[in-house]
Amino acid sequence: MTQIVGTLKDSAGNSITGKLIVVLAGTLIDDATSPDTIYLPQSYTFSITAGAIDITLPQSETSRITYNFQFFKTNTDGSLIEPALINFNAIVPNVSPVQFASLTPTGLVNDVMDAGALRVARIIATTPALAQSIGGPFPQGAYSPTTTYKFRDLVTYLNRTYISKDLNPITGVVPTNTTSWMVIPVEPNGSLILADDTPYSSAWNGSGKSASQDAVYDQVEDVKSNVALKANLISPIFSGDVIVPNQALGDASTKAANTNFVAAGLADNVTTTNTSLALKAPLASPTFTGTPLAPTATTSTNTTQIATTAYVKSNLASYATLASPTLTGSVIVPSQTAGDNSTKAANTNYVDTGLALKANLVSPGFTGSPTVPTQVLGTNDTRIASTAFATALVNDKIKWQNLTTGKWQLLLPNSLAISYGTLAVTTDSFSQASLTFGFSFTGIHTIVITNGDNTATANNFTVTVRTNSNFQFYAGGFVGTVRVNWYAIGTI
């Protein structure tokens, strides 16, 4: 519903009291309700006191149907004073509230373009934020992390110009974030960005400018030249006369030894060195004696490291014997395919999967289309009956047949039968008539008859005579044609 508000005054500014009559130009259907609401072109009168208009009407903008608005001043007795002071046709927009003065007359042609365009123009003109968001781009100066930026806002950042491409307002998102911003190849002063040819120096830090290929090439070549004069940290290859400090005699570390250190060591320790070397095993295929010792690796080690006896015994303790193994903990074995019937170890998943395909012995719940053997007719025990058995049993006990037009027979167990039908018959001058069953009972138990013709005046049907093949009835004094419904129960 749309609320319409406004104030009516005369030419001197005095509030006017009267009646506002509103009527639709056609049927208006609101299918947003359940069930649909239908507004008919029936006029309604609103009382306007002291010129104050505050009414609600169903919006008709989406249905393109106009309302007719007529305002009449009233006498003290409430009667209308002709002519109408206001008389126009207008669309009620799909916004609320709306000023009565903004209901631009549209006529009965249902042309809402002028009214809609005028309303949009007024909304934009009276909403600065909306007016500022139309068009773009919108220069916002240097980027600030505390400023909220909108779609198509322009900022400068690190000597670059960026435009927001985020449809939602953003705050604290740096322009280098390509999800929300896009760089524009222009300088902040508007000139096209070109690569800068300034040689590498501290001036590059934080400039935001792109270096030219020439500047980058010069710097790369300079680095390459300096690297070529250096030795690798790993496995370096020196040239010329490599000078290293002279180490103290007896130093046994990874420090580089110069020729002076080697010569002094050889001259002073030739005998000691030879004796020591005799106690050493070669690195290639050594032969140890006595009780060689080595560090014991962790049980999970799987390398060329020497395995001690402690390592071997520790690992063997974690294995089961091949013959009659005794396993502990949570034993993990591969899951075999369903239906595997072999000596392979079965895990819980295999067992659960197999059991899920089986029904319980007690109160099983079958799914799908379970089938059972069809028992012979006459079986009466706890065996499951198939649908075929049930159908055969029903067909053997209950039979229905159409004897002739308007007459039917239903055969039941224990030699019972029901004859039922509906026929139009003509009574004689004594208001009597007779009907046949279409077959003969061996004994008849009861007959029920009713008047089946709603247009006849006959009432109080009464069976006067009945036999095993027909019956006579009295139509309560009615003479003519009447429809009779009957049911007869007996044995055959």
Question: Which pLDDT score is estimated for 301?
Answer: 92
Q: Could you give the CA distance from residue 277 to residue 254 in angstroms, rounded to a whole number?
A: 19
The torsion angles phi and psi of 169, rounded to 5 degrees, stand at: -60, 140
CA 16 vs. chain centroid, Å, equals 57
Q: What is the pLDDT of residue 112?
A: 39
CA nearest neighbour of 247 among 229, 233, 259, 230: 259
Task: Please tell me what DSSP assigns to residue 34.
Answer: S
Per-residue pLDDT of the chain (492 residues; tens, 9 = 90+): 999 999 999 999 999 999 999 999 999 998 888 999 999 999 999 999 999 999 999 998 888 899 999 999 999 888 999 999 999 999 998 888 999 988 867 654 344 344 455 456 555 545 555 555 566 788 899 999 999 999 999 999 987 889 999 989 999 999 999 999 998 876 666 665 555 667 778 877 766 666 666 667 877 888 888 887 788 878 888 888 889 898 888 888 888 888 888 888 787 766 666 677 777 888 888 888 889 999 999 988 999 889 899 888 888 877 777 778 888 878 888 888 877 888 888 888 888 887 777 888 888 878 888 898 988 877 888 888 888 877 776 666 556 677 777 788 888 888 888 988 888 889 888 889 998 988 889 999 899 988 877 655 566 788 999 999 999 988 888 888 888 888 899 998
DSSP codes joined into one string, 205-245: TT--PPBPHHHHHHHHHHHHHHHHTS--SSS----S----P
Quote the percentage of the chain above a pLDDT of 90: 28
Q: Which residues pair with 160 in a beta bridge?
A: 157
Task: For residue 412, count CB atoms less than 10 angstroms from its CB and return exposed for 0-12, middle for 13-18, buried for 19 or more.
Answer: middle
432: Cβ contacts below 8 Å, ≥ 6 apart: 464, 472, 473, 474, 475
The separation between CA 434 and the C-alpha centre of its own chain, rounded to angstroms, equals 71
HEC profile of 106-144: CHHHCCCHHHHHHHHHHHHHCCHHHHHCCCCCEEEEECC
Q: Residue 127: what pLDDT?
A: 58
Lookup: tokens for 452: 């089946």
CA–CA separation, 455 vs 385, rounded Å? 51
> What is the pLDDT, as a whole number, of residue 109?
36
pLDDT digits (tens, 9 = 90+) for 53-100: 999 999 988 888 999 999 999 998 889 999 999 999 999 988 889 999
Comparing CA positions, the residue from 163, 266, 161 lying closest to residue 209 is 161
> How do beta strands 470-474 and 462-466 pair?
antiparallel
pLDDT of residue 155: 92
Residue 139 β-bridge partners? 154
Q: Report the C-alpha gap between 266 and 247 in whole angstroms.
A: 14
Q: Tell me the domains of the chain and their CATH numbers.
A: 2-129 (2.60.40), 135-184 (2.10.10), 399-491 (2.60.40.3940)
Residue 437 near residue 419, CB atoms below 8 Å:
yes
pLDDT for 408-454, tens place per residue? 888 888 888 898 888 888 988 888 999 898 888 999 989 998 887 76
